[in-house]
Amino acid sequence: MYYKRLDYPCVPKSWNISDDLGQIEYVFSDKTGTLTQNIMEFKKCTINGIPYGRAYTEAYADIRRRQGIDIEEEAAREKKEIQEDKGVMIDLLRDVNVGELSKDIPNELTFISKKFAQALNGQAGDSQKLACENFMLALALCHSVLTEKSKKDPNKLELRAQSPDESALVGTARDVGFEFLDRTKKGVILNVQGIEKEYQILNILEFNSTRKRMSALVKIPSAIPDGEPTALLICKGADSIIYSRLSDENDSELLEKTALHLEQFASEGLRTLCVAQRELTWTEYLTWQKRHNIAAASLENREEKMEDVASSIERDLTLLGGTAIEDKLQDGVPESIQLLARAGIKLWVLTGDKVETAINIGFSCNLLESGMNLLIIKTSGEDVEETLGKEKWKTLQGDKSRVVGALIEQYMMQHFGLTGSMDELIAAKNDHSPPSGAFGVVIDGDALKLALSDKHRINFLLLCKQCKAVLCCRVSPAQKAAVVTLVKETLDVMTLAIGDGSNDVAMIQAADVGVGIAGEEGTQAVMSADYAIGQFRYVTRLTLVHGRWSYKRLAEMIPSFFYKNVVFTLALFWYGIHDDFDGTYLFEYTYLMFYNLAFTSLPVILLGIFDQDVDDYISLIVPQLYQSGILRQEWTMTKFGWYMVDGFYQSLISYFYPYLMYYKNGIVTESGLPLDHRYFVGALVATIAIVAFCR
């Protein structure tokens, strides 16, 4: 479980729950950085309703494979054409830029689109050229990236970002001629197509998992001398958030085209983002700035007040376009998920990505199967209306909570014959078998919020339990933790949560066992976890091998510890019958001191550390062996009772066999005394007890 690239071994941070790893029934996983590498590459974008970029992604290749296409031949052809486009694009970019492009651009450029370079050259018209320039300028201005000189090449600047997404966006803007150079006290310095310019950044409204967006306010000087400047708000974030904040003045056709492009990008497994802007008069900005300063200085409910102030200005936006970034799967993820499924472990993926993106990544990583029937749970949409039927849809009157409840109830009854009764819940608690049907649940964040309410949570849980895969999309950290808690407390099962970022901390802490991945998003998850690993694939060995061994060792060690003490202690009890329980010891004091300390300690220690019923490779070849831990068959009260019965029986043998040997045997010692001293009997009793245990 050593990850060579990061020089990172598996680090246990908790030593008292290793046996829990052998009883895991549900695994809750983040997607970005956990199943994927979290190394982002900008692949496509849509600007002013026109899509740009060519890419042959892993997810798209998997889609084509499921369609029966020979992807090896297609991939070779596509990649060859993409390389040809790349050369043409670089030549066009050199024509546009006044200065020289970076010498590393052939290796660093991931956004391949000669059509985009032609648009920057003005071949698509002045309006589209301006739209492309504004879009890339927005990416170069709205971020929290820092630069530092490269240690390998002092003339080259390296980007240091809070997230790989930001680094990919700013890096692509740099590659096409809008290079971010440095930050100053007032703003940022850009190299715009060979000309250095300084832009004054008035405010930055930070991204967080609740807001799902980030904004920057830029000061725009007046075009006339002594004129009043204006402020430009640039906002980037999840498409659902940005679309809900757009102005009514946006072209409806443009919005429809952009949404269609983003859906297409998501279907190829790409992570999508929307970019929008809003122009403010200087008076509007100053009024807002006063409110912002008051909120920032507030001592009570500061976060809520800051959010309200930020939300008040991030409205009436004008859409610029959207981006699409590829995040490739980690090595060994599909095989690991398949192995966990064969072991009887159910995997739920909780991600912040769009539904379409999550579904295609789910197919790529073997979470979803090609013949699987996906049960989509959303609050609205034509597909929802079609599923429920027009008559039922009308009766719901657009009530989102009722829509979600109706979908869940219909899926339960139609596919599984369930009604959501308490008897079904009790049966679900006792049923630990893997789901038999080829069904998967996909639910978005808005619907999940309603599904977790007291009214629908039991039905939602019963539905998910019948499905082989569960995908929760556009979820917040709090929702991730709520899902884990629901399963853990309602079904009384052992859960494991695995993630790599700060937004996974709540989920990791809510699970019985938390696993953090040391990756691109820092060490917040690792610091909060019980175990830290370098890649997702190591979780299979952590649970199926080491977790199973630990569970079986503990299941043998604990009853063995009681067993050896029952044998030894009951032997004293039988002796007490003959000495009227006067407190006399049967054993010489050496045996009393060293029975637990030396004579019987080593077998228990060796059993608890080194015992292996099968080799590690057998546990991975036959993952079904792990199901004994899920069913909790190794450590039961019945087993403990049999150990106690055996200890009782062994104590009878240990005491009464020597007793009968020495009882009136007629043998005397040299001193003339009979050979029935309690220490002579005690030595043989202790020997039999030790041998009985060590066998």
- Dihedral over alpha carbons 338, 484, 507, 57 (to 10 degrees): 40
| Orientation of helix 457-465 relative to helix 400-411, angle to 10° | 30
* Cβ-Cβ contacts under 8 Å for 253 (sequence gap 6 or more): 49
Q: Which of 35, 30, 39 is nearest to 326 (CA)?
A: 39
Do 291 and 309 form a contact (C-beta atoms < 8 A)?
Answer: yes
Geometric angle at alpha carbon 629, from 627 and 633, rounded to 5°? 100
8-state DSSP, 547: I
Q: Which two tokens stand for residue 625?
A: 């062996």
Q: d(Cα 237, Cα 215) in Å, to the nearest integer? A: 9
3-state secondary structure 419-444: CCCHHHHHHHHHCCCCCCCCEEEEEC
Helix (H) or strand (E) holding 271: strand 271-281
Displacement of CA 263 from its chain's centroid (Å): 23
Whole-angstrom distance between the N-terminal and C-terminal Cα of the chain? 34
DSSP-based three-state secondary structure for 216: strand
**Tokens 């490779």, located at residue:** 617
Q: What's the half-sphere exposure (Cβ side, CA atoms, 13 Å) at 478?
A: 6
Contacts 24+ apart (CB under 8 A), 114-120: 114/85, 114/88, 114/89, 115/52, 116/45, 116/47, 116/52, 116/53, 116/89, 116/176, 117/88, 117/89, 117/92, 117/93, 117/176, 118/92, 119/47, 119/50, 119/52, 120/92, 120/93, 120/96, 120/176, 120/177
Q: d(Cα 545, Cα 539) in Å, to the nearest integer? A: 10
- Tell me which of 19, 30, 175, 500 is the catalytic residue: 30
Q: d(Cα 684, Cα 542) in Å, to the nearest integer? A: 45
Q: Give per-residue burial for 22-56: e unless 16+ CB within 10 Å, then b.
A: bbbbbbbbbbbbbbbbbebbbbbbbbbbbbbbbbb
Give me the sign of the Cα torsion angle 561, 566, 572, 575: negative
C-alpha Rg value of the chain to the nearest Å: 34
Geometric angle at alpha carbon 128, from 127 and 132, rounded to 5°? 120
Q: d(Cα 240, Cα 251) in Å, to the nearest integer? A: 17
| Orientation of helix 58-66 relative to helix 71-96, angle to 10° | 150
Do 404 and 377 form a contact (C-beta atoms < 8 A)?
Answer: yes
Indicate if 582 belongs to the active site: no
Residues with a known catalytic role: 30
